[in-house]
Structures are given as structure tokens and as C-alpha cells.
Structure 1
Amino acid sequence: MQNISIADSPRRRAPWWFHLAGQLLQPWVRIRRDPAEPATLLKAGVPVCYVIERDGFSDALILDRACREAGLPSPLQPLAGTRRKRSVFALMRRDGWLFGRKRHRSPNEPLGQLVHSLEGMPDRDIQIVPVSIYVGRAPNRDSGWFSVLFSENWVMVGRFRRLLALLLNGRDTVVHFAEPVSLREVLAESGELPPPRFARKLARVLRTHFRRIRAAVIGPDLSHRRTVVDDVLRAEPVRAAIAATAAKEKISEAKAWRRAQKMMLEIAADYSHPVVRSATFLLSNFWNKLYDGIAMHHFDKARAAAPGHEVVYVPSHRSHADYLLLSYQLHMSGVVPPHIAAGVNLNLPLIGPILRRGGAFFMRRTFKGNAMYSVIFNEYMAQLIDRGVPMEYFIEGGRSRTGRLLAPRAGLLSMTVRAFLRAPRRPVLFQPVYIGYEKLMEGKSYAGELSGQPKEKETLFALLRGVGGLFKQRYGHVTINFGEPIELTPLLDAASADWRSASADPDSRPEWLGGVIDRVAEKIQINVNRAADVNPINLLALILLATPKHAMAENDLLAQLELTKSLLLELPYSDRVTLTPMDPAGIIAYGEQMGWIRRIKHPLGDVLDVEGEQAVLLSYFRNNVLHLAAAAAWVACCFLNNRRMSRASVQRLGRIIYPFLQGELFLAWDEEGFGTQLQATIDFFVRRGLLETTGEGRMLERAPGQDDSAFQLRMIARSLIQAFERYYIAVAALAKHGPHVLTAAELENTCTLTAQRLSLLNELNAPEFFDKALFRGFIQKLRERKVVWTDESGKLDYNSALDDMVRDARVILSREMRHSILKITPGGERDVVTDEIALEPAAPVPPASSTDADTSAELHQRHVAAEHEGHRAQAVDATADAGEQEGTQGDLPL
């Protein structure tokens, strides 16, 4: 057989009519090759035979042109060493007509010819190249509505419809060249399989390949919704639930079946490719008017990990725009949008059917008291996973009102894991996604809900009213970051070596299952945070909200922005965290432009501040990235009320507090890793002059309170101080009441009321400070750490570790704050205040030198300047340094 190289292969001249058709079609078709240089995939010197999915004259024209433009051998030339007149054949072929009789043409025939050509010729080979051709996969913003109807789908359309698709959507044509398959190697691997059976087997493999590529490009081939509904209702668990409901309620099985069918129709999506493409067309204009841009990072890594997996997207949930944005970006990037679990409250008139056809399936807020609904929903989820449909759901259960990630709710996760255990054919891959905003559409309603206002019910009128006011504001940029994916199988392997045996009994609930689900949920939230985006608004919120009046002199703000950016760059939280490229001056200008901060002109230097209501809204964006500054904030907090501490003390106390921070902020380190991060942070502060070392690096010391470096350290510390105040409220309330007095719910309520009152007395514009969910999480973490537990009567008991936490709080919190909390907190007979005062030093320790103390004139001058620039805290700390109210000049005796 003659070997023909790619470069030297002769191009057979096409018939005149083929050439004419190509010329007529050329203005209407624009081809994008994937990959751009497919010639690099081929092996030189080996004949090439192309395989296309569907027979068609237009596909042959497109393939010939794509090969010509890429410098590949022509599909029209005879295949060397065979009797074939063309180097291409199709798997799906239309039936032809010969002398009035229908003639069926099988794809196995050309495969059989190729196999036969290699018989007795061990040195010969043929490389088979599967080529997928898609016309009009994704109409863009310039496409018309009519174009959507003729975009690519799963149906083998007629010639006239294909012609219309080329005329309308031909400029969006994708030709995908797959890796070539060596026919000789495949034949050798098949062993002694007879040629006819081998041809059938190879045809099946190629059909599977084309289905997989088509599913990845335009979505899975879903049957009509009624077919899916019927499959679910025929499933054995659902039939058993119908029978049980009929027996329990003493109704006929037919009536119970109709009720189940109604439930299923309420749940099921009705995915429609034309509707998805139409929605994409509309959303392109909507996003362009609403946002200044949508950025997406690390998508290539996510796409590379997805093939062969059942992909479950698990994004952070901060706005109703989340699922629309993610689906839109996936579709525009060439990936099929997922089916999305949505609350049944969004199944509104007009809106619900559109969402359903876009892939939304609806679920009730609770399954309690309705066993049949629970079984049906579980079975529907299992059907989606079994069919390989990508899914998306929010494990937080609802939108975050504070900007923090919420504690995960494991219901949908549990259904996913159990469905995989039942039929572990395709491995499950959870894909965390971080979605970051610069302004939220729901911002004001979130602040109102946290302040006690009832949540507004979703209605069509409310939605239309909200949409009408959207375009009156600027919402800035949106960033979608893809986190590190999580494979389910390795977690199951770690939990149980014989987990596959659990699939034998669909109703089994092995002991290790709950732990796996909890671990998956925790890893998802951690990996979402590891993919955070730090935008200009996040940085401004992190810094300005750390000042008492939410105001700073421009020079101080510029310096603090530079310090914070340097900290995030030199000590990266993760390789998937992205940071704004703007310089400090650009960040301030952008914050003013977006309306988040205002400039107050002053002869001694301009002041930037945040007004009252804006400060509440801005706290949301501080909380988005609070976890990135957790290690730095802890180190800085150790020097709020102390001039000197040892490295060992910072580390030891950090290990004590870390589990609570980790539970609240979903931090990525283990305790050892957190200790390493603390050491790196201390070294950074030393390099920047915020801390000084003595005693061969064992002791750390900050500058006096009036120094700029001490001020910068204080700003970093105060980003996290409210968390420690909440912790102190909880442990002080429990210690003040004593053991066996409060239940967990009563303690949670006491903490919430105390925080609300403290917020009113201290003008804390941060509604999340008294968020009940944060107190609930802290109390749960105390239980996990065996610091507290529930006695036989349901009351909370605790050990001496709780009293140690109360005493250790003096390292971080000022005496004034601790006493204010203890005074406000309702309690029983135990006098915690007296216990704590006894721990204070009998007399202040004098400064190490006279230079550490400020004169009264200097203090007065410092105080006036601070009032001008919103630095009240600086004046307070300068006074604290002069009298050494709380700190010591040596290491704390901890």
C-alpha cells in the first residue's frame, strides 16, 4: 500500500458541481476549527480516513473546506490501499433510492472495507479521524430570533432545513477534529474477533464518541418531559410509595398515581435547546446594560476535568442572577448549561415555564410530612444523574444575606451521593464556583431582612417592579471563578473500601455515608472560598469598615490599600484567588465612581468616607473576602491591647481560636497549616516594619499607638474583631448563667439579643453582628470540640476550658468592651465580672522608656487630627499606650 504523507498528499480535483456548490456556500459559512491546528494530531506517512457523524452534502463541503484551510489531506481523494473512492464516510446515513426501491446503507460496510484492506498486510495502517460538524450551536447577540429555530440539535434534519440552517447560522460553524484512532492498534487489541463483529464494535465506539462530543457541545439528548415523568413514575421506589400512600390514606391507587404525576410535573424540567439559545440572545443585551463586564477565570481547568464525569456545579449563592450568569457563561463558552435546582417559589406565572425550559427543576422548601414527594424527587435526581445530565444547585439552601458562605445543607448532596451509589456508572465531579459582585441588586432588601424586616415574598409583580428599577444604577463588574473540583470516588474510597457493595441495596444507609456527605459539603465551601475574587469594592470595604467612623485620610487609605494588596500577593491564600490589577489611586477613584465612597474636601487633606446606609451594604463585600485576611487579622489582633508578645503565644492562642474561625469562614488550612501561615504573616509584618523582633526573633513588639505602623496594624485587626466579640458574648453568657441552666436554643437567643443591644449602644452598622446563624454555628463548634455538651435534661454543661476562653479574651478585647458585654448580658447568680477583674494587673506597668509615653499636648493634637480624619481609634490607642491600660512590656503570662 502506498504511504501518503500529510504534506505531500495529492489533492484530487473535485467535480465541477461540487466546486460550484462550495463557491456558492462560502460567503454563508465561517468555520472555526477545534483544535485550531488539527494537522498536529496526525501521524505523518499514514493514510487518513475521516468519519463524520451524519451523511450530508453540506457536511462534505464543510469538511473539505476545513481540511483545505488546515492543510490536511482531502476527504475527496481515494483512500490509498483500498477500493474506496473517498477518504470519508458517515456513521448515520440517509436511505437512498435505487430503481424505485429503498436501499439501506450501513456504516459497517466502509469499516469492513477498511479492515479487509489490512488483512495480510501487518505493516499497513489507517488512522481514522472522527470529525464533528455543528452549524449554529450558539447564536450571538447579532443573530435574529429566526436563526435560533434552525440551530444545531439532536435530530437528523432534512436537506431543506439543513440549507436554512446554513444560510442563517453558517457563520457560527464549528468543526471538531478528534484524536486519530489507529485501526491497526484497535484491530490488534480486539484479538480474534471476526471482521464483521469488529466493524460493528468499532461503529458503536464511534457513535458513543459522537454522542459524547455532541452532548458536551449542545447538551444531552433529553426525551420529552412526559417520557422522563413516565420513567420516574414506573420506577420501583415510586410505585411502592404510591401504593403506601393509597393504603395509608385509603384512596385508590389510580388517585394516588395521579397525585404522584402532578408532583412529578411540578418538579421536572422541560429543557429546550431553542429556549436556551433564545434566552442567551436576550441575556446578552441584558448583561451588557446591567454590568460593565463579566470575567471568568480557571474555566479551562474546569473544562479539562469534566469529560467522563457527571458534573455538579455548586456555586456560592448571593443573588438571583447567579444561576442565569453561570448558565449564560457556560453556554457562551461551548459547554452545555446544567439543570438547576430552584425553589418552587420561583415557579411564577410566565417566569416559571421559561425557567423550566431553561433547565430549572423545582423543589419544595421542605419534604417533611410528604413521603411520596420525597421519593419522587429522589428518583428524579437519580434519573438525571443516570442520564449524565450536568446539574447545578446551591448547598447553602438560600442566598447569603451577609456575604459570608452559609453553613451547607446536605439534602441535595445526599440525594446525589445516594443516586451515584445506586448506579455508579459515571463518576461524580463537584465543581465549586465563586461568583463575586461589586454591587448587588438585592442589597437593600438583604440589609432590611437582617435588621428584622420580613422577607418579601416573590411575586410576578415584585419581579417586574424590581426589573424596572435595575437600570437606574451601575452594578460594576461580575467575576466567576472556578475552584478546584472535588471527585466523589476518592472520598468514598477513604470512607469505606467496600462502598460499592452499598449499591446492592438502594435503601441502605451505611454508617459512613453521613460523614462522606459532611466532608463533601465542607470541601465544597472551602474550595469556593479558595477561588475568591478580590475586587476594588472588597478592598475598600475591608479597610474603611475597620474605622469607627468609616472614614480615612486619603494618604492613609492609599497606604493601607497598598499594604493589603501586598499582603494578598506575597502570601497568596490559593493559586485560584484573583486580585484586581488596579493601583490604590485607581481603586479609590473607582469606589467614588461606583458611588460607594464619597470625598470630603479639607485644607489638611481630603477624607474618604462611607455614609451610614452604604456602610451596612458595604459590609456584604467585606464579608466576601474576610477569610483571605483571617491569618493577618489574628496576628494583628494580638497587638491591639499588647505592645509585646512572643511568637509562641501568638501561635498557641491561634491554635485555640482557629477551629472556630475555620468553622465560620471555611478556611482552607488544617491547624498545622494555619500555624505555618501565622509564621509567614509575622515575617511579612516584620519586613514591612509593622512589628519588630527581639530576643533572637522570639519576641514581637509593635510601635506606640500613635505611630503609622501601629495604625496600619490596627486596621488589619479590626476587620475580624467583631467575630471575637461574638465569641465572647456566647462564652460569657454561658459562663454567667452557669452549667445546667440554658438550652442551646436559649443560649442562641440570649446571644442574639445581647449582640443587638450592644450594636445599638455602640452604633455598630453591621446587622450580621447579631445574625443568629453565626451564633448557632459557634455553639455547634463548641459542642464538636467537647467544650460544651447537653445533659440529660437538655441543658448545656461545660468544662473548665470555657472559663479559660473567658480569661483569654483579655488578650484580644479591650477591658471596656468585655465589661460592656458582661453588663449587657442577662445572667444568673455567677459573678463573672468579679472573676475577670481579679485577673487584671493591680497597677499599670510603666513604659519601657519615656519615648513610649505621649505628652498631654501631643495627645490633644493627635485627638484633634483623628477627629478630622475619622481616626478616633488612633486617639484611644495613643492614650492606652501612655497609660499601658492593658498591655505589658513583657510576654503575656498565658
Structure 2
Amino acid sequence: MTSSGLSSLEHPRAHRPPLWARLLSALQKPWLKLRIEQPEADGGFDPSRPWCYVLEREGTSYQLILDRACRESGLPGPFEPQPALERTRSTLYVSRRRSMPFVRRDRAVADTAELDTLVLRAAADPDFDCQLVPVSIFVGRAPDRSTGWFRVLFSEHWAVTGWFHRLLALLLNGRNTWVRFARPVSVRELLDDGTVPAKATRKLARVLRMHFRRVRTAMIGPDLSHRRMLIDTVLASPAVRDAIVAQAARDNTSIEAAQKQARKFAREIAADYSHPFVRSLSFILNRFWNRTYDGVRMHHLDTVKQAAHGASVIYVPCHRSHIDYLILSYLLYHNGLVPPHIAAGVNLNLPVIGGILRRGGAFFLRRSFKGNALYPAVFAEYVDTLYANGTAIEYFIEGGRSRTGRLLAPKAGMLAMTVKSFLRTPQQPAVFLPVYIGYEKLMEGNSYLGELAGQAKRKESIGGLLRSWRVLRNKYGQAAVSFGEPIELRAHMDAHAPQWQAERLSPRAEWLNPAVDSLATRIQTEVNRTAEVNAVNLIALSILAAPKHALGESDLLAQIRLYQTLFTRVPYSSRVRVCQDSAEDIVAHGEKLGWLVRTSHPLGDVLSAQGDQGILLSYFRNNVLHLAVCAGWIGCCLLNNREMSRASVARAGRIVYPFLKAELFLPWSADEFAQELERTIDVLIAEGTLDAREDDRIVRRPGGGTLGQYQLRLLGHTLLQTIERYYICAAVLARSGSGTLTAGELENVCHLTAQRLSLLQELSGPEFFDKALFRGFIQQLRALGVVTTNEQSRLVFGEQLTDALEDARLILSREIRHGILKLTPEAREAAASED
């Protein structure tokens, strides 16, 4: 795993290592396998000038590993003499190992004597310079199938170890050794900026120590203190001390009693991260993925590696399954990055299970912070401590797992805490990494189905966990993890709240909540921009738009190919990945996973999603529905219109786009959406799904009975239910009258209307009557000023709403519009009787 960098400059290896080194290297060779990483492109290393490798710690084994890495990379070796430096070897150390008197324990002692010699030499000779190449070595960092349990004890960690421990580490874990070369550091540059030699030495030593600490943190995690010491740090903070005093005053109890309660909260919250445990868990998960999944695909890992150095990384994935945090932590660890500390609901803090999760990095939070001012103070300080330590953190801003496959409206509590931590210590940079996680089948599918049908969510318990083991006997296809564009918090704050630096410590800054809300929306938008379209997504998009969820085989194949073409030729973003398997292979895969049932027929086989499979498939359609918005809108426009001008399609699209954008976290402005519509129309015309006339200004449905007309109808039905839901809300509001309903009453009436309509028309997908989606639409109406609230909290509107209803005539059939209008008064009466 060698990248172009330092090794791009060839260097003849004229000097052989000493005999003892060659002998030890030969003994070491069978036990050693290296993963070598170097700077991208030109590393800036010039072997014709004086140079020296810098290692973090002293040790013969490190020199031998470095020599092997240099030979494999075509670099000069560490045993080469440096006459220009008056050195017999080309290696120096930032710290050396020293044993404490009368105590059998090793410790690292800083050693700047050799650095001081180089700095003084450069100060005396203006033409002298030396290139210092930092090299980080980690033995036993990456597990593989041959790794045994005993090897965990000798994996890489922060403690300074002796020669015997390092020997066992090499014997047990040497085949999983990482070597990272960094860009050279120039001694001359430190002196040229006017720094005196003594300060230059200290600065150089500090720079090297910080570099090695950052790399070690990125590889194995921060050097966390014992959990008890971390809790003591949290409780000793001024914010928590003040909260303890305030709590004692409110409860009329002693300070000691409030301190005891605060410590109880901290113990409930805090993780107990263990490197050996994480390595042990990686062995179990390795077998789990191989047994349960057909593979796990990962995209844009380079994004994570670039962001992980020198910044506090906050992973913000979408939340679709309990597998999310396992799969993300496993992939990060297996690829040389530290697993994050994960914010988990306190409902998972079960006996035994809670301890396991804590050792894997989980820290627990309550669903609500109301009712006790001390708990949020302790929790916020704990998060602040993790952030200040540079610990990678992971949390789900949706608040819970999505039951419909859509991204949920974000809850900004954890985001606000993280932003406040940054405001307290802005010198510690923060980077948010959105993560898309996709599956072809969900372990929780049946439980989601029950919850969507109205059953109460089952409370987590040990018994429920034991009963769930039977799901592991099934196969769940492939999974995918894709990392989105990093969001640098400082740049985001500069863009959305330019005054933040001057007012960062203000407790009631008016710009804070809007900045956090915009950050939450941006994260969700970036998650969607890095989606992977798998085989099941393509099947769900195609077959759920058909009557009875059934298509002839040839029609299904053609629709899958059309979606592949659209997503490839009109890419949603450069990070989206689209399954490129043949349509035949995709259908076969769907049958293998049980999503499709084939019915043989003399005129051609029919493939269908039967029973509950249609509802479950809607989950996977919703994962990627945002990618099909443009094609879906064009199809909707031509469902009930023989032809339309491009300008009319775009004009109507601009009206509905703000609601689509808010619901599906779309990335475009209204003008950009219109441009996307134009590009999509061009592809549909090229594919025969649309006809055009009058120099392409007018688009029309293909002739009746053609494949193109049928495909266009399927495209339209993919988005039709969303548009119908918008019409239900606008129609209920208009027929009720301005100033009649509150937002809550409108939401309830809309829910009942949609629920009734779905029963009458067999509409698929429980999200059609999801109250949360109606709530979001109402909020968007208020945000756009279409409706306002009077003194009685009732919704007031004007002509803009009635104009929107008139525009709906272009899209919705008379039958659907009349059916909605007929149900509206009945739903109002039912909602009133429930109240």
C-alpha cells in the first residue's frame, strides 16, 4: 500500500546495514508485513541534501522496521552514515525510554540533544540545512483473519513498553504493521524566521511531538485517562460546580448531596473505552459481516483520512439500523482510523450490554434533559471534554432510526453542544463528516413494519436482544458506507454568523440557533449528496410505481436501465455511486433476497412485490427518492397533460420546489432546480421516454401503448404521492377557511384524510399519512409566508394559497382532487370528535 510521495525519487542503496542488523532483519522477516503510507505527490524529500529520519520512540525493532520500509519504498535506509551531519546513522528520536529507579516501569523522556546539535550547526553555517523526515510505526494496528485473541494484549497503545513487550508484539502482530512517512521538516526554515537557536530547538521538538501525537491519535485514538479521572475532570469544571451549587439550592440539600448526584450522572454518561476490547470486538465483527452480509462497500475513505489529522472529527451518519454504529466503527478501525465515541440512547444501557458498549466507546444520553438542570450541565461538560481532547465523536442528528427510509428532520441538541464546545476553544478545529449508510435488507424490517402499522415501539431489553439472534441466520445482501464532503465548522460559522468571534462567549447570542439549524440542514443535504444506489433501490423505484406492485419482466428491466441512465448522465453529485450491474443481474439479486416473486406466464413472466414486501420496499425507495425528484416531477406534469412547454414545467417546479427541498434535503436553488429539469428532459427525449416538437420547446408524452409512455407514467407515480400530500394540506386549509385551524389541528385533519385516501386507493407507503411530513409542510408554508399565525395561534392565509390550489389542476387528476375535497369535511368532523 505504497503511494507516490517520498519514494518518487530513486536513491541507490550503496550502503549495507551492519551485520547484526542484517541478521536480526532476517530473523524478523517472516513475522513482518508492512502497510506503508507516504505523502501524496511530491513529498519534498531530496536525498542529495543532508537528511535524517525521526522516530517517536527509541528501539532497535523500530530501526529494523524502518529499514525494511525504506527498502520496499526505494528510499535511503536508516543505517546510512551522514558525513555532512557527522553521524554514523540516519535516525534520531524524539524521546528515549528510561526505567524509573526501583520501579519496574518504563517511561518516555524527551531528548533534544541531537536536535540541538543540528540547530546550532545550522545557526553557525548559513548554507547548512537538514531534512527531518518523521516516521510513525504502529505494530498490530490492523486485525485480519489470522489474528488471535492473545494478540490483543500486545497491540499498539500509548504506554511506553520495554524490549520484551515489543518482541512479543512483533511475533504476534508484526504482520499488521503500519509505517507512515511524513513530509520533511526543514531545520533552516526555523532559523530563517529569526528564531534564536535555543527557541528553535524547543519549537522543533514541540512540532515533532505534536505531529506524532496527532498521528497516534488518528490511528489508535486519544490518550484518554482512566474513566474515573475523566469523571473527576468533568465534575471539577467551573460550569458543573456552578450547576451543583444551583441544584443544591433548588433542592434545599447539601452541596455534598448534589455532588453525589452529579457523579451518578457522570457515571451513567461516560464511556470506558478500551483498545484491547475494540480489537477483540473487531474479530467478532469480521466473522459477523462475512456470515450475515455479502460484502460491505466503502467510498471516499480518503476524505476521512485528510480530515482526521489535527482536528476534532464529528461523524454524523444517517440512522437506519442498529448496525449503523457497528459497521462505521468497524470500517474505520479496519482501515487505520480510530473508532469514534458514540452518543447512544440510555435505553441501550442494559445490564451487560451497556458495559460492552461503553468499552467500545459508547456514552449514553437521556432522551430528554427536562426536569433536572444538573444533568444537562454534566452531559455538556463531558462532550466538551471529549472535544477538547480531540476525541472523534459520532452521533445521529435525526434522534432515532428512520422507520420510512427518509432522512428525518434533524434535532440539533448535540450539534448545539458541539458548536458551543468549539466556541469555548476555537483554536481546536472541528470537522463534521456526513455519512451515508445504505442496506439491501434490514434486520429491523419486521419491527419497522409493525410500528408503521401502529404498534408501539418495543422497549429494548435483554430478552428482546436474545430473541433477535434468530435474525442472524438470514442473509442481508450488501451494505455500503459513503463519506460525504467534510464541513469545517470555522468556515461554516464565518459564512453564517460573521460576528461569532467577537461574541462567541455571549450566553444568548441571537445568531447561534440559526447557525446550528443551517449546519444541521447542510449535514443532511451532504448525506444525500453521497448516496449509493444499490440494486434494491433500483428495484423499489421501479416496481412500487406500478399498479399492484407488479411489472412484466421486460418492463421492469427497461425501467431499471432508465434509472441507471438518468442517475449516470444527470449525476446528482460527484459522490453518488450507482449500481452498474446489468438489469438482469439486478432482478436476479432481488429474487435471491426475496424482494421479488416471479410468476410464469406464456406472454412473459411477471415480477411482483407481494404482501408486506411492498411496504418494506418503500423504505429502500425512500433512501434514494431525492435522486429521482427531477424525473418524477416531469412525469407528474405529463400524467394528466398531453404536452407542456419546458417553461411551464420549470415554472410549476419552482412553486413546489421549496417544499421538496425542505422534505428531501435537496441541494439546489430554485434556478438550479430548473436547470436540472432541463438536463433531465434532454436525457428523457434521447431515451424515447419523451417526445419533443417546436424546436424542443414543447415536450409531450409518447404515443399510447408505447414503452416510453409507460416509463414516463412510472416516473410520475414515484413522486405523485408527495404532491398529493401537499394538495391535501392546502385543500384542507383552504376549505376550512382562514383563521379557523391551528397548526396542530391542521396536521391531525391532514393525517386522517390521507389515511382514509390510502385505504380507498391502495396507496403504498405509510409515510403517505405520516404526521411528521405534514408538520414539515406546514412549517415550510409558514417559513415562506404563505400562512401566518394570528393571536389565537390559528393559521391565516391569502390568495397565494388559493393560487397554488389552481396550479394543482395541472398535476393531479380530477378524480384525486375531488376525492380529497370530499373527504375534507369528514376528516374535520372526525378530528374534532377525537379532541
TM-score, with structure 2 as normaliser: 0.95
Output the CA distance in 2 between the equivalents of 1:618 and 1:496: 42
After TM superposition, the structure 1 = structure 2 runs for residues 672-821 of structure 1, keeping only pairs within 5 Å, are: 672-821=671-820
What one-letter code is carried by the residue in structure 2 that aligns with 1:46? Answer: R
Query: How many positions carry a matched residue from both structures?
Result: 817
User: How far does residue 659 in structure 1 lie from its aligned partner after superposition?
Assistant: 0.6
CA offsets 1:253-273 (integer angstroms, 9 cap, x no match)? 001000000001111111111
Output the CA distance in 1 between the equivalents of 2:273 and 2:503: 32
Output the CA distance in 2 between the equivalents of 1:106 and 1:490: 36
User: How far does residue 222 in structure 1 lie from its aligned partner after superposition?
Assistant: 0.8
Deviates more, 1:157-166 or 1:360-369: 157-166
**1:289 is aligned to 2:291:** yes
Output the CA distance in 2 between the equivalents of 1:824 and 1:792: 29
**1:259 is aligned to 2:261:** yes
What one-letter code is carried by the residue in structure 2 that aligns with 1:490? Answer: A
What one-letter code is carried by the residue in structure 1 that aligns with 2:647? Answer: A
Q: Counterpart in 2 of 1:638?
A: 637
Output the CA distance in 1 between the equivalents of 2:827 and 2:601: 52
Deviates more, 1:813-822 or 1:626-635: 813-822
Q: Counterpart in 1 of 2:656?
A: 657
User: How far does residue 192 in structure 1 lie from its aligned partner after superposition?
Assistant: 4.6
Output the CA distance in 1 between the equivalents of 2:462 and 2:230: 29
After TM superposition, the structure 1 = structure 2 runs for residues 16-35 of structure 1, keeping only pairs within 5 Å, are: 16-35=19-38
Residues 81, 117 of structure 1: 8 Å contact kept: no
311, 314, 318: which one pairs with 1:312? 314
Unaligned runs of 5+ in 1: 831-894
109, 126, 129: which one pairs with 2:130? 126
- Give the share of equivalent positions with the same residue, in percent: 55
Q: Counterpart in 2 of 1:179?
A: 183
Q: Counterpart in 2 of 1:856?
A: none
Q: Counterpart in 1 of 2:478?
A: 477
Output the CA distance in 1 between the equivalents of 2:655 and 2:624: 22
Residues 82, 113 of structure 1: 8 Å contact kept: no
User: How far does residue 36 in structure 1 lie from its aligned partner after superposition?
Assistant: 9.4
Output the CA distance in 1 between the equivalents of 2:107 and 2:267: 43
User: How far does residue 83 in structure 1 lie from its aligned partner after superposition?
Assistant: 3.8
CA offsets 1:521-555 (integer angstroms, 9 cap, x no match)? 11111111111111111111101100121111111
Q: Counterpart in 1 of 2:599?
A: 600
Output the CA distance in 1 between the equivalents of 2:388 and 2:585: 50
1:265 is paired with a residue whose SS is helix
Q: Counterpart in 2 of 1:415?
A: 417
Output the CA distance in 1 between the equivalents of 2:403 and 2:277: 31
Output the CA distance in 1 between the equivalents of 2:765 and 2:110: 71
Q: Counterpart in 2 of 1:892?
A: none
Output the CA distance in 1 between the equivalents of 2:636 and 2:339: 45
CA offsets 1:136-172 (integer angstroms, 9 cap, x no match)? 0122222110001110000001222111111111111
Output the CA distance in 1 between the equivalents of 2:747 and 2:331: 41
User: How far does residue 12 in structure 1 lie from its aligned partner after superposition?
Assistant: 5.2
Output the CA distance in 1 between the equivalents of 2:63 and 2:737: 83
What one-letter code is carried by the residue in structure 1 that aligns with 2:504? Answer: S
CA offsets 1:677-715 (integer angstroms, 9 cap, x no match)? 111122222222333333343322223443322111100
Residues 48, 73 of structure 1: 8 Å contact kept: no
Q: Counterpart in 1 of 2:833?
A: none
**1:55 is aligned to 2:54:** no
1:222 is paired with a residue whose SS is coil
CA offsets 1:643-701 (integer angstroms, 9 cap, x no match)? 02222211111100101111111111110100111111222222223333333433222
What one-letter code is carried by the residue in structure 1 that aligns with 2:177? Answer: T
Q: Counterpart in 1 of 2:206?
A: 204
Residues 754, 769 of structure 2: 8 Å contact kept: yes
**1:78 is aligned to 2:106:** no
In structure 2, the CA distance between the partners of 1:305 and 1:13, relative to structure 1 (3 Å rule), is: closer
In structure 2, the CA distance between the partners of 1:388 and 1:697, relative to structure 1 (3 Å rule), is: same
Residues 450, 771 of structure 1: 8 Å contact kept: no
Q: Counterpart in 1 of 2:4?
A: none
Q: Counterpart in 2 of 1:834?
A: none
User: How far does residue 103 in structure 1 lie from its aligned partner after superposition?
Assistant: 14
Output the CA distance in 2 between the equivalents of 1:450 and 1:90: 61
Residues 307, 313 of structure 2: 8 Å contact kept: no
Output the CA distance in 1 between the equivalents of 2:648 and 2:23: 83
Residues 731, 805 of structure 2: 8 Å contact kept: yes
2:825 is paired with a residue whose SS is coil
Q: Counterpart in 2 of 1:533?
A: 532
After TM superposition, the structure 1 = structure 2 runs for residues 200-599 of structure 1, keeping only pairs within 5 Å, are: 200-471=202-473, 473-505=474-506, 508-599=507-598
Q: Counterpart in 1 of 2:148?
A: 144
Output the CA distance in 1 between the equivalents of 2:41 and 2:362: 37
Residues 51, 133 of structure 2: 8 Å contact kept: yes
Q: Counterpart in 2 of 1:110?
A: 114
Output the CA distance in 2 between the equivalents of 1:415 and 1:829: 41
Residues 43, 183 of structure 2: 8 Å contact kept: no
User: How far does residue 7 in structure 1 lie from its aligned partner after superposition?
Assistant: 3.1
CA offsets 1:829-864 (integer angstroms, 9 cap, x no match)? 99xxxxxxxxxxxxxxxxxxxxxxxxxxxxxxxxxx
In structure 2, the CA distance between the partners of 1:479 and 1:828, relative to structure 1 (3 Å rule), is: closer
What one-letter code is carried by the residue in structure 2 that aligns with 1:788? Answer: V
Residues 96, 105 of structure 1: 8 Å contact kept: no
Residues 312, 428 of structure 2: 8 Å contact kept: yes
Output the CA distance in 1 between the equivalents of 2:315 and 2:186: 36
Q: Counterpart in 2 of 1:7?
A: 11
Output the CA distance in 2 between the equivalents of 1:477 and 1:784: 40
User: How far does residue 97 in structure 1 lie from its aligned partner after superposition?
Assistant: 11
Output the CA distance in 1 between the equivalents of 2:619 and 2:630: 20
User: How far does residue 434 in structure 1 lie from its aligned partner after superposition?
Assistant: 0.5
User: How far does residue 38 in structure 1 lie from its aligned partner after superposition?
Assistant: 11
Output the CA distance in 2 between the equivalents of 1:365 and 1:801: 39
Output the CA distance in 1 between the equivalents of 2:123 and 2:522: 54
1:503 is paired with a residue whose SS is coil
Residues 692, 702 of structure 1: 8 Å contact kept: yes
What one-letter code is carried by the residue in structure 2 that aligns with 1:49? Answer: C
User: How far does residue 504 in structure 1 lie from its aligned partner after superposition?
Assistant: 3.8
2:612 is paired with a residue whose SS is helix
Output the CA distance in 2 between the equivalents of 1:788 and 1:104: 67
Output the CA distance in 2 between the equivalents of 1:563 and 1:69: 48
User: How far does residue 501 in structure 1 lie from its aligned partner after superposition?
Assistant: 2.2
Residues 139, 148 of structure 1: 8 Å contact kept: no
Residues 750, 826 of structure 1: 8 Å contact kept: no
1:499 is paired with a residue whose SS is coil
Deviates more, 1:165-174 or 1:302-311: 302-311
Deviates more, 1:374-383 or 1:102-111: 102-111
CA offsets 1:714-760 (integer angstroms, 9 cap, x no match)? 00000011111111111111112112221111111111111111111
Output the CA distance in 2 between the equivalents of 1:622 and 1:811: 25
Q: Counterpart in 1 of 2:5?
A: none
Residues 492, 516 of structure 1: 8 Å contact kept: yes
User: How far does residue 85 in structure 1 lie from its aligned partner after superposition?
Assistant: 3.0
Residues 39, 70 of structure 1: 8 Å contact kept: no
User: How far does residue 6 in structure 1 lie from its aligned partner after superposition?
Assistant: 7.3
Residues 139, 147 of structure 1: 8 Å contact kept: no
What one-letter code is carried by the residue in structure 1 that aligns with 2:625? Answer: L
2:503 is paired with a residue whose SS is helix
Residues 215, 309 of structure 2: 8 Å contact kept: no
What one-letter code is carried by the residue in structure 1 that aligns with 2:340? Answer: P
Unaligned runs of 5+ in 2: 1-8, 830-835
